Amino acid sequence: MTESPRIEPFFTLYAALVFALGAGVLAVPLTAQGARQVPDVSAVYVEQGPVIDGVLNEAVWRDAALLDAFTQQEPDEGAPSSERTEVLLMYDRSALYLGVRAFDSSPSGLTATEMRRDSDRILSEDNFQIILDTFRDGRSGYMFVTNPLGAQLDQQVFNEGEGGLPGRGTPNINRDWDGVWHVATQQTPDGWVAEIAIPLVTLRFPESESQRWGMNLMRNIGRRNEQAFWAPIPKPYQIAKVSLAGTLSGMTSLSRGSDLRVTPFLTSGASRVTDAGDVDNSFQRDMGIDVKYGLSAGLNLDITVNTDFAQAEVDDEQVNLTRFPLFFPEKRDFFLENSGQFKVGSATAFNRLADLFFTRRIGLSPTGEQVPIRAGARLTGKVGRNDISVLNVQTGDAFGRSGENFLVTRYSRHFLSRSRVGGLFINKNETSGDHFNRTYAVDMTLVPHDAFTVTGFIAKTETPGMTDGQGAGYLNATWLDQKWRIYGEYANLGDNFNPEVGFLPRRGIRLTKLHFERDPRPDLLGIRVMQPMVNVVYITDQQNRLVSRRYHSMVGTAFDNGAYLNLWYNHNYERLDEPFIVRDGVAIAPGGYSFGEWQVSFNSNPSRKVYYQLNYSPQDFYDGTRTDTRVTLGARMSSKLSAEASYARNDIELPAASFDVELASLRIDYALSPAMTLRAISQYNSSTDQWSTSARFRYTYMPGSDIYLVYDELRRDLDDPTGLGVLNEYRDRRLILKVTHLLTR
């Protein structure tokens, strides 16, 4: 008889917290939206929308609805915006239109240097942001951002972007989603103007004659580090907090056309690989097709045949001096749209415990090499209060291994205003083999109070040859208000818990974590907010034997000028049951180790034309010492050209050996226009003794249609122990041209 997974402590904690929540809801008054004044606007219908040229002089704009009341969140919460912003709003049967007049008393002080699409820098400059919660579920939305140069950033938001930390990102914001929308801007003597069109075919919304969406608008004034919202949002939150959005109503008889988008692509190129003196030249000519079809206003079907990922950006080099794998984000287009609907995992992106579904397990080898995807299909979307997601992908044989089939199904049901419960099933099996792996899970998010959220899952895997210890459980309870961020989490991951299509750094553990953080605003010395925090992590094995412990103390300080200073100290304990191979020929012996870690870092205002980041971390490292240093320097030479160089060094001294690891990178971005950009990145990693260079030119000749020219190379000289000859030998070179063309009906 199979032994049931040992997750009794999880059930006990779960029951206790749910009981406490029920009592807490009765005891703590709800800060319901009804206590707020929620702004509302009724969109104006026009027969024909304007030409998107950045000039708001067409007669049709005279009839548009006007929104001009914006309220500060930073720096002076509740005060009117320091600069006037007018937003004109209207729609026709096929698109939503916004005209933005961003007045500025000092237009020469505008911070605008970025033209590239989806660049992080757009968010640190003057910009205007829109979020649309089309299903009015208070959890998800489509977000669009532009700046005075007409740069575009778009992303999908899930679960209100929860689980993030400053500078660490969040698993619930999909930055890599690319929607089809249009924007034109111009700078004027009294500020800047943006004209925006969002085609309805880019969005999903309920099948209803009259629409009622959540909407919020935000203007960032770069030189003042000021954020002002149409629907006011308290300081702990950002625009992704769609449960606090205003209301856009009055739109009727919307049309998405036939909702069919077909994108064929052609690729051509050549590669040269050198291995042990052997040279292999190959030529590539290929074609494929991606199809997107709206089965209904809320459900979308994606089909891909002979998928190609030649345009995907390269991964940033990372140094791993831990015993556990590193997380690399997904960047391939097919997997990006609605990706958050598949997510079941831990609540925070920092120190991930588990993601039960991780798309980089499909179509990529463990070392990151591409595995051919023969075909795939995805069904994602909403039907009423139900989220439905199904994915099926077939890969081909590669690297001496059989192709595999991946089936992923996900369902969740929303209840109350922001709570949900759901389930996940994943099946992976070899096409010509007997191996398979399955994951079963149920999960929930419970929000009984605006400031209180509980998330969790119970899961089990099934793998041939394994019987007991295949279960897992996770629970996180978070309180977040204007002064406090407090959370506790518990995870129990069985010895044989094995989600092969997920990301699981370690198994066979029971983890408990408590976190306390307060955000005081002393209003002196140019300090805007301080972020002192403490947390403790306690990890045992399945026999309750201590294997890891960390006491973390930190004080972060954000300044009015946009700079950020961070100081922390960690006291760690690690038990090694087996030798830890730090690098070839260097191992740390089994045993228990206590060691401390200091770190100080300073980031200047990232919106400045010249910015920098400094990091210094002296620390103990098991039975030795380690010093980490990192320097980043960036410059925006013009609105078209920018560059960023970084250098990181880890100096390790152990009784067995002393060594250092270096990472260096140089990025150069050149934008001829928002539609035509070039990015080149060169990276050096001393641990692998190799240089890699990648350059990608992208020309969006019409929305949704692109030309990519990609060049990659890898240089390495294994025969040169000094590392001085790494430029002498090409190991891998590739030049690829890819053309895509969007056909719509």
Distance CA 662, CA 318 (A): 10
The pLDDT assigned to 381 comes to 86
Instruction: Find out whether the peptide bond into 325 is cis, omega within 30 degrees of 0.
Output: no
- Taking only the tens place, the pLDDT of each residue in 248-284 is 998 998 877 677 889 898 988 888 877 656 677 888 8
CB-CB contact of 131 with 245 (8 Å): yes
d(CA 608, CA 636): 8
The predicted pLDDT at position 350 comes to: 62
**DSSP classification of residue 724:** T
The predicted pLDDT at position 422 comes to 95
Nearest to 659 by CA among 735, 742, 585: 585
Residues in CB range of 393: below 8 A, 6 or more apart: 362, 363, 373, 375, 376, 377, 405, 406
* pLDDT score at 327: 46
pTM above 0.95, yes or no: no
The residues near 711 (Cβ < 8 Å, ≥ 6 apart) are 693, 694, 695, 696, 733, 734, 735, 736
pLDDT of residue 602: 97
Give the pLDDT confidence score for residue 256 in this predicted structure.
73
* pLDDT score for 348: 72
Q: Which residues of the chain have pLDDT under 70?
A: 1-36, 163-171, 257, 275-278, 309-333, 336-338, 349-351, 367-368, 717-730
Q: Contact, 125 vs 222, CB < 8 A? A: yes
Domains of the chain and any CATH numbers: 31-252 (2.60.40.1190)
Comparing C-alpha atoms, which of 142, 115, 111, 139 is closest to residue 129? 142
CA distances from 304 to 333, 335, 609, 632, 685 (A): 11, 11, 42, 39, 35
Q: Give the per-residue pLDDT at 61.
A: 95
pLDDT at 368: 67
